Amino acid sequence: EKAGYDYFMLKEIAEQPKAVADTLLGRIDGSGTLSLDEVRIPPEVLREVDKVVIVACGTAYHAGLIAKYAIEHWTRVPCEVELASEFRYRDPILDQRTLVVAISQSGETMDTLMALRHAREQGAKVLAICNTNGSTIPRESDAVLYTHAGPEVAVASTKAFLTQLVACYLVALYLGQVRGTKYGDEIRDVVRDLSRISGAVERVLETMEPVRELARSLAHKNTVLFLGRHVGHPVALEGALKLKELAYMHAEGFAAGELKHGPIALIEEDLPVVVVVPSPRGRSVLHDKIVSNIQEIRARGARTIVIAEEGDEAVVPYADHLVRVPATPTLLQPLVATVPLQVFACELATARGNEVDQPRNLAKSVTVE
Ligand code: M6R
């Protein structure tokens, strides 16, 4: 069943280009138009939506954090993202014009299910993004957009995460298309970029050997930090979560701009810090700011592991280890930047002798609140 791989996780990491392509299949066309007829919420209802609220747990929550950037940018509708376990306990403000998006690979996560039940009781419409046909969360939602990752067996979510991102982009772009925002041309361009993205994921996978080597050399470390900005911040959180659950190491993700507000005190000699660098094209201010952050932490002794776009030369002098990813539009970068972090965590877990597919204390689907 593992198709020659030592672990399901390795197989599932390798399946990501196909999972991404399958999730796009039939939903976008060459002219840059989306057809999401399966989202049975009528366009006139979607046009009236005045707030989007995303609820999810763990890795799916990180997909939601990235979705917020895409939804707010392409639709100009305010979007909140909340841990499903916190949602109903704070008496959230919801009504008929709220679109709640519940993201869950398994479709059985109790925290997410209770959040969506609460949302529907308040009259909100719920759209599920789910990988498991006929599971409870899509059954109880108004509509569902299935991710086509295929069964994910390893407890650590990898291919499901990438397909959740794709589904989130589709929802954001579709909302933009239906509502006719001024981003019409950009939306058409991004739809075309998305149709090529699975090839970019494939290219990342082909260049992972140095990342594996690096991971093995860090097996004796206690702490790894992750930094990012913009959509790179949730990517940093996801990299840290993977390392916690697989390698049982202390790992934390930070927004790079927060460094000076506290976390920089953690930096000490030879501490590995992974930095996810935004594209130097487009939002170049962010890029320049993060390059300064890399300089700051390196001056204090950090061992910098830099994930940067091909052709980004500005990072070279400050990177102890440089991992290249293909150039993508900023909002889509998480699809390529997350992959090295998955490989890194998986290899570190193996080097530390941990059970990769079945980490201690964890279950694949968490059906208790
Ligand atoms: O099945 P779900 O997507 O609802 O699961 C949510 C989380 O439990 C899940 O993503 C968890 O954080 C993974 N173990 C992360 O790798």
Q: What is the DSSP letter of 158?
A: S
Cα–ligand 1 centroid distance for 278 (angstroms): 26
Helix (H) or strand (E) segment spanning residue 66: helix 58-75
Query: What average pLDDT does range 3-29 have in this prediction?
Result: 95
Q: How far apart are CA 290 and CA 256, in angstroms?
A: 7
Does residue 132's CB lie within 6 angstroms of at least one atom of ligand 1?
Answer: no
Cα–ligand 1 centroid distance for 56 (angstroms): 9
Tokens 């672990």 correspond to 7
Which atom of ligand 1 is nearest to 365's Cα? 1
110 CB burial (10 A radius; 0-12, 13-18, 19+): middle
ipTM of the complex: 0.99
Residue 54 phi, psi (nearest 5): -105, 130
What is the pTM for the complete model shown?
0.97
Our CA angle for 144, 148, 152, nearest 5°, is: 110
Q: Please, which pLDDT band fits residue 1 given cuts at 50, 70 and 90?
A: confident
**In this structure, which residue's CA is closest to atom 8 in ligand 1?**
58
The 10s digit of each residue's pLDDT in 205-263 is 999 999 999 999 999 999 999 999 999 999 999 999 999 999 999 999 999 999 999 99
Does residue 84's CB lie within 6 angstroms of at least one atom of ligand 1?
Answer: no
Cα–ligand 1 centroid distance for 112 (angstroms): 10
From the list 335, 338, 6, 12, the residue with the least C-alpha distance to 150 is 12
| Residue 151, both tokens | 């069964």
**In this structure, which residue's CA is closest to atom 11 in ligand 1?**
58
**Would you say the C-alpha torsion 207, 64, 151, 17 has a positive or negative sign?**
negative
Strands 303-309, 272-276: pairing is parallel
Cα–ligand 1 centroid distance for 165 (angstroms): 14
**In this structure, which residue's CA is closest to atom 4 in ligand 1?**
104
Cα–ligand 1 centroid distance for 147 (angstroms): 14
Does residue 279's CB lie within 6 angstroms of at least one atom of ligand 1?
Answer: no
Which atom of ligand 1 is nearest to 109's Cα? 4
Cβ-contact 300, 262 below 8 angstroms = no
Residue type, 318: Y
Q: Which residues are catalytic?
A: 364
CA-to-CA separations, 67 to 95, 157, 254, in angstroms, rounded: 21, 17, 18
The 10s digit of each residue's pLDDT in 165-215 is 999 999 999 999 898 877 778 888 888 999 999 999 999 999 999 999 999
Provide CB contacts within 8 A for 206, sequence distance 6+: none
Does residue 156's CB lie within 6 angstroms of at least one atom of ligand 1?
Answer: yes
Does residue 59's CB lie within 6 angstroms of at least one atom of ligand 1?
Answer: yes
The 10s digit of each residue's pLDDT in 275-321 is 999 999 876 789 999 999 999 999 999 999 999 999 999 999 999 99
**In this structure, which residue's CA is closest to atom 9 in ligand 1?**
58
Q: How far apart are CA 300 and CA 269, in angstroms?
A: 7
| Residue 225, both tokens | 């930090």
**In this structure, which residue's CA is closest to atom 12 in ligand 1?**
58
